[in-house]
Amino acid sequence: MSDFSSSSVPDLTLYDPFGGMRFGPQHCFLCGTSITPHLDSVPVFADWLMTRYHLHERQIKLLDMSIVAYKDLRIACCSTCRSQHVEPLEKQVAATAAQGLAGWRTLDEKTLFLWLGKMFYGVLVTELLNELNPLARPQYPLAENAQMLRRFQAFFQTFQALRVPIEFDDFVPASVFVLEAAPAQDDIAFEYDDDLTTLVFSIKLNETVLTTCLVDNGIIRQAMRRVYEDAQRPLHPAQIAEFKARVYYAAYLLNVVPDYYARTVHPGDDHLVYDSVIDDVTGDIFNPWENSAYGQSLLEMWKRWQIPTEEIMRDPQQPLSLLYDAEGQPQELEHYPAE
């Protein structure tokens, strides 16, 4: 007799919340199943993370300038997805984080992608729901931009790998960078920033800085290969800020949205296989680089050091770099500004 109820074949059905724009508290964010609103949820920033960095009461400013505490950032999640998918992921990452940089460097990329993606998506959904509030006046409406929605949707297809076993054939969904902050002048234990429109997310946990573009199929990392190689050393926080400015600006220039296709499932299959196509026939992968716009990105990321535009753009052909010296060689930076 076969026992179908304890079948070990995983559910390979994909879920797409963008079809009906179902982001509310009535549906699990991962599988879409109906749940008890506000009762079934998981924190966007996991409890272990909030505890370790004392984030519970700390506040985040949303796009409409409203303020929310980290502990109140939660996303609707059914008990199955919570116990089977979200909690095991958080447990694995918490153990990784306890080992510091060495742990992060050995964590596989897919897990990193899913973990960063979960926080990104949690913040995104919070913003999208906020936009639906008639009293909100978002500065940059996310739901009204067709290309942006396509990007979110493409990201969500690969992000389904948090719930459904998915193998990415011959591609990585995201660019993920792991950087090391040198202890000198680095007194910030936790920091996070993002750009929802370009799907860039960055988080700093002690000496480890993780930065990602979640829907570029690794194109930005490929384009920044040399800079990333040169950055495999302890960096001054202002150098890390420059690296991030490059990622943010590259993501802004990225002109393509990957398409993903799940191969046909056959009886007995225990996972899905995705192929990806980037339609680059219609245009360039990146829009043209403009130094003045990149300078804006640097200005933003260097706010802490108050480096004025005049200094950043002293040479309009070559905006200020702290990663490289005038000869284009990787630069050591112990103090900034120099003492």
- Which residues contact residue 98 at a Cβ distance below 8 angstroms, ignoring those fewer than 6 apart? none
**Closer of 38 and 137 to Zn ion (Cβ):** 38
**What's the closest the beta carbon of residue 174 comes to Zn ion, in angstroms?**
22
* 239-278 footprint of Zn ion as x/- string (CB under 5 A): ----------------------------------------
Complex with Zn ion: residue 87 or 109, whichever CB lies closer: 87
CB atoms within 10 A of CB 195: 17
From the list 8-16, 29-37, 186-194, 328-336, the region that binds Zn ion by CB under 5 A is 29-37
By CB under 5 A, tell whether 35 contacts Zn ion.
no
Task: Name which of 331, 2, 10, 338 is nearest 167 in CA terms.
Answer: 10
Compute the least distance from the CB of residue 50 to Zn ion, in Å: 22
78 binds Zn ion (CB under 5 A): yes
Q: How far is the CB of 82 from Zn ion (least distance, A)?
A: 8
Nearer to Zn ion (CB atom), residue 85 or residue 204 = 85
Q: Which is nearer to Zn ion, 27 or 236 (CB)?
A: 27
Segment lying near Zn ion (by CB under 5 A), choices 76-84, 173-181, 184-192, 208-216: 76-84
Compute the distance between CA of residue 84 and CA of residue 162 in angstroms, rounded to an integer.
Answer: 10
Q: Smallest gap, in angstroms, from Cβ of residue 25 to Zn ion?
A: 13
Alpha-helix residue ranges (DSSP H) falling in the chain: 47-52, 79-81, 87-98, 101-106, 109-132, 146-159, 219-223, 225-230, 237-253, 291-301, 309-312
- Looking at the Cβ atoms of 30 and 254, the one nearer to Zn ion is 30
Q: What is the 3-state secondary structure (H, E, C) of 236-289?
A: CHHHHHHHHHHHHHHHHHECCCCEEEECCCCCCCCCEEEEEECCCCCCCCECCC
Distance (Å, whole) CA 76 – CA 94: 21
Number of residues counted as binding Zn ion (CB under 5 A): 6
To Zn ion, the closest distance from the beta carbon of 199 in angstroms equals 22
Return the structure tokens found at 61: 């400013």
30 binds Zn ion (CB under 5 A): yes
CA distance 145 to 227: 32
- Measured from the CB atom, the residue of 13 and 255 that comes closer to Zn ion is 13
- Token pair of 50, please? 């909030």
- For residue 259, the cross-strand partners are 277
Find the part of the chain contacting Zn ion (CB under 5 A) among 28-36, 46-54, 111-119, 128-136.
Answer: 28-36
Please state the φ and ψ torsions of residue 324, each to the nearest 5 degrees: -125, 150
Q: How far apart are CA 24 and CA 17, in angstroms?
A: 10
- Euclidean distance between CA atoms 74 and 103, whole angstroms: 27
Can residue 176 be called a binding residue for Zn ion (CB under 5 A)? no
Please identify, using beta-carbon distances, which residue of 88 and 183 lies nearer to Zn ion.
88
Shortest distance, position 85 Cβ to Zn ion, whole Å: 8
**Quick check: 31 binds Zn ion (CB under 5 A)?**
yes
Residues in touch with Zn ion (CB under 5 A) = 28, 30-31, 33, 78, 81
